[in-house]
Each structure stands twice: as C-alpha cells, then as structure tokens.
Amino acid sequence: MRETLFRGKQSSGNTGFWKKLMLTFLFSTVVLVHPAVQAEGELSTVYHVYVGEDYIGAVDDKEMVEQVIDDRIDEAQEKYENMNLTTSDEINFVEEKLFEPSNDNDQVTDEIENELDVQAEVYTVEIDGETVANLPDKEAAEDVVHQLKLEYTDESSLDKAELNMEKEEIIEKQSDGPAVVDVSLSEDVSFNKNTIDPEEVSTVEEAVDLLKSGKEVEKDHTVKDGETISEIIEKYDMTEDEFFKLNDEIENNDDLKEDDKVTVTEMESYVDVIVKEEEIKEAKIAYETETKNTDELYKGETKVEQKGSDGTKEIHYAVTKVNGETTETEKLDEKTVEEPKKEIILKGTKEKPATGDGKFTWPAVGGTITSKMGQRWGKAHNGIDIAGVSDKTIKAADGGEVTYAQFNSGGYGNKVEIDHKNGYKTTYSHLSSISVSVGDKVAAGDKIGVMGNTGNSTGEHLHFEVHKNGSPVDPLKYVSK
C-alpha cells in the first residue's frame, strides 16, 4: 500500500481522511498476508482517490487521473499564463491489492475534470491584517508598495531616501531644492502566501490604483442649521438613493434638524504615503537704519553717511507631506551667511542763519543766461534770466529770511523774496510752484521753488534779481555758475 499526494494545499482538520486511510491499510494487510486467499489467484492494484477528505472512487491507473489534473491546469494556464496555478484541494491516492478489483475510472475522471477548482498561488498585500490586493508573486507585491511611493516622489529621491533609512545616516542637504530623507507608509504592510480564484489576482497597476483611491466607509455627519440633503450629498459625493438607503428615517429636508446625526459615506485611504524632505533656503536679512544728529547740517537737511545693504541667511527646514500635501513645516536651523550693513543717516541740527554771508551761489541747476541786466524793449531789466537747466529746482542764493512768497500781479508771476539781513535782498520770479513760506529761514542752496512760466513771461525761465540797500545791482557781479 502507498499514499500519493498530488498538487494543492494540504487541508487542515483531516482526521477523518486518516481514519479511512488506516482502515484501508488494515484491510489491505489482511488480504495480502492471508495464504488461503493468495492461493486462489493473482492480486491486482487499484488506487482509491480522495479529493481533500472526500472519497470519490477507485481507479486502476493513477497516471490517468494525474493526466486529467495536468490537462485541467494546463487549460487554465493558457488563460492565466503569468500565474502559478494549483488545485484547490489535495489529491490523495491510496493503493490497494485485490483479487477481483473494480474501478470507477470514468466517474473519477469526470468528477475531477468538472468539479476540481484551479486556483492561483499568490502573495497578498495586507494592511494591518486586511487583505487589499492579490499579486501573482512576492516581487509584484513588493513592487506595489514601491510604485505607490513613486506616486509622490521620484525614483532617484526614493533610492537615496531608502539608502539613508537603511544606513541611518543624514544625507547631504542641497540648497538648490529639497532632499527626500524618508519615505514611509502610515500603516503596516505585509505580504503573505495564499491560493485564490485567478480572477481575483490584480496587476501592480490595479493594486496601486486601489490603494490610492481607498475604500468607502460610513461615518456620521452633524447637520448644520439650514443645511439641506442636496448640500450634504454634494459634500460627500453621494447620490440621493445612497443617502436615503443609509437614512431610511429621513424623507425630506423637513426631517433634518440642527445637530442631528446622519449617516454618510466617504472615501478613506487604506494607507498614506509620508514623505519627509529637508531643504536649505536662502533668505534676506533686512538692514537697519540709524539716524545721527549733526550740527554740520542745517535743520531739515539730511545726508547718507553710510549706505545700507541687506545680509543673507540660510534656513534649514524639515517638511512633511502626506500624499503630496504639506502637513507640517519645521525650522531646524538658521545660519547667517552675510551680515547686513547698517544705513547711517545724518540729520542736521544747526539753525539756519537769518543773515547771509554775502557770498551768493548760482540759484539754478546749470542753465544759461538768456537775458542780462539793462535796458530791454525800452524798459529797465533789473535782473538776469536763466533758462535751459538740467533740473528745474530753484535755490536760495544765500542764507536769510523769506519775506515774500506768493503770486505777484505786477507781471512777475509766482515770486519769492529773501532778505539776507546784510543790506542785500534777492528775488526769484516766474516760478511754477513755491516751496517756502514767509518767515522761513533758508540757507544758501535750499530749495525755494521750481522754474516756471507764470506772469508776464516769454517762456520757461528764472528771473533773478539782487538788491543792495534797496537798489537793484547786476547779479553777475555777485554770482557765477
């Protein structure tokens, strides 16, 4: 007597099968050792066939049954060519010697051919003990996790991150972009061997899509004041039929009360991909401004003693992303690369003199004399005209006090007069605008207005006069460019 196991997984709880096998063994032993029976004729061999624990008959040719099984698997293999196939149950042969054997060849082969299921040997992808997908081999199952991670990072970054995690070393951070330092999953993923219907086997791409899309779960939604059924199902991407099936006690919006709980469905991920990046970014350090008082400048005057410039610093960030969305940013370190340079501004404190020093300066920014003092058009021209300037600013020729600053109806237009308190007065006419007021103290070079064409003027210019002890004198004897 001999037992043969043919393909398939070994069944658990097969006590009944072994009892049958033992009885068959005892019976065969009696037949083989009884000399009186042996003398009556020659013994023939039959094979009792068991599918799992079920006895389906005896055959006189074990290879015939094995061939039927091979053909059954080969036929399925043509359809599922990339899978390792086996039978759903163990096929056991128990050999027996008999003088007058009988067989159930046709019955056994028909039952095996029509009833025996072919299954695929697979590796399951399990998340916290729940089977999510079935893959044809372990390499494919592991590739599912790899490809899922690649949905949220690139191959090069993933390779470096995995090397970093394996060696537990800090990889070099680049200042020109983020460096991936860790890629992990939010749940435990395991791979286990199993046999299932070949139709339930997934490709890597299908398994990745399934993990990304997640599973539909039921949850409670708290109704807000005035919220409608349409608003709720739109928020959770449900249909009305789905909503009413889960909430059969609700018929219309009138049944919705504030703070009530209703059941809704929402897609929930099986697992999240957590990518941790580190990046060094350069940032500006704004310069400070310091103001210093100085008696070397008049009140109202300022001067930049030292021009400021921004500094730079490097900030080391750690960024956590879940399924591509940033969930946390942490500053790890900050280092100054270049210190900022302070800007220093001098602010004048010196009082402007009420009396000029008699040294007159040119009242315009550049320009040329277009008309001198003297007779012009049969009348006295008591000053000089200046035009063709690069800047229209009009400046006080010497320090003093403003005694006139308004429009003059006598033909001078906008006019400013400064009393230098030393017997001299100067006037500035035809201005487009006036920058001072009567009573202001000015120093030589202070802005008092802008060149213009107001009053009786032949064009844009400055009419400048100098008066000494009340009488006009030639300005060109006192000023020069």
Asked whether residue 123 is assigned to any structural domain, the reply reads: no
Contact 44, 99 (CB under 8 A): yes
DSSP letters, 89-142, are S-EEEEEEEESS----HHHHHHHHHHHPPEEEEEEEEEETTEEEEEESSHHHHH
pLDDT at residue 38 tops 90: no
Q: How many CB atoms lie within 10 A of CB 467?
A: 19
pLDDT at residue 12 tops 80: no
Q: Looking at this protein, which amino acid is placed at residue 323?
A: N
Q: Give mean pLDDT, residues 393-417.
A: 96
pLDDT at residue 20 tops 80: no
Asked whether residue 373 is assigned to any structural domain, the reply reads: yes
Q: Which of 7, 139, 133 is nearest to 71 (CA)?
A: 7
> Phi and psi dihedrals of 156, rounded to 5?
-65, -45
- Tell me which of 79, 96, 116 is where a domain ends: 116
Token readout for 431 is: 């201005």
Percent of the chain with pLDDT over 90: 73
Asked whether residue 132 is assigned to any structural domain, the reply reads: no
User: How confident is the model over 427-475, as pLDDT tens digits?
Assistant: 999 999 999 999 999 999 999 999 999 999 989 999 999 999 999 999 9
Is the model more confident about 335 or about 10?
A: 335
Distance CA 300, CA 79 (A): 95
Contact 438, 403 (CB under 8 A): yes
| Res 42: pLDDT | 83
Percent of the chain with pLDDT over 70: 89
Q: Which of 412, 444, 443, 410 is nearest to 427 (CA)?
A: 412
pLDDT at residue 33 tops 70: no
| Residue linked to tokens 């879940």 | 322
- 176 confidence band (pLDDT: 50, 70, 90): low
Output DSSP code: residue 377: T
- Tell me which of 239, 268, 297 is where a domain ends: 268
Asked whether residue 161 is assigned to any structural domain, the reply reads: no
Q: In what order do the strands lie in the sheet with 325-338?
A: 179-185, 273-285, 311-322, 325-338
| Res 378: pLDDT | 84
| Res 172: pLDDT | 56
Asked whether residue 102 is assigned to any structural domain, the reply reads: yes
User: How confident is the model over 186-223, as pLDDT tens digits?
Assistant: 999 999 999 999 999 999 999 999 999 888 899 999 99
Contact 421, 468 (CB under 8 A): no
CA atoms within 13 A on the CB side of 38: 8
Write the CATH number for 257: 3.10.350
User: How confident is the model over 40-68, as pLDDT tens digits?
Assistant: 558 999 999 999 889 999 999 999 999 99
Asked whether residue 67 is assigned to any structural domain, the reply reads: yes
Total number of domains in the chain: 3
pLDDT at residue 307 tops 60: yes
Asked whether residue 79 is assigned to any structural domain, the reply reads: yes
Residue span of the structural domain in which 61 resides: 3-116
| Res 335: pLDDT | 95
Write the CATH number for 425: 2.70.70.10
CA atoms within 13 A on the CB side of 41: 7
User: pTM of the entire structure?
Assistant: 0.58
Token readout for 189 is: 């993923």
| Res 169: pLDDT | 52
| Res 88: pLDDT | 84
Asked whether residue 344 is assigned to any structural domain, the reply reads: no
- Tell me which of 89, 116, 143 is where a domain ends: 116
Distance CA 268, CA 262 (A): 18
> How far is residue 27 from each of residues 8, 33, 381, measured CA to CA in Å?
28, 10, 153
- 129 confidence band (pLDDT: 50, 70, 90): confident
Q: Give mean pLDDT, residues 344-368.
A: 90
| Res 39: pLDDT | 43
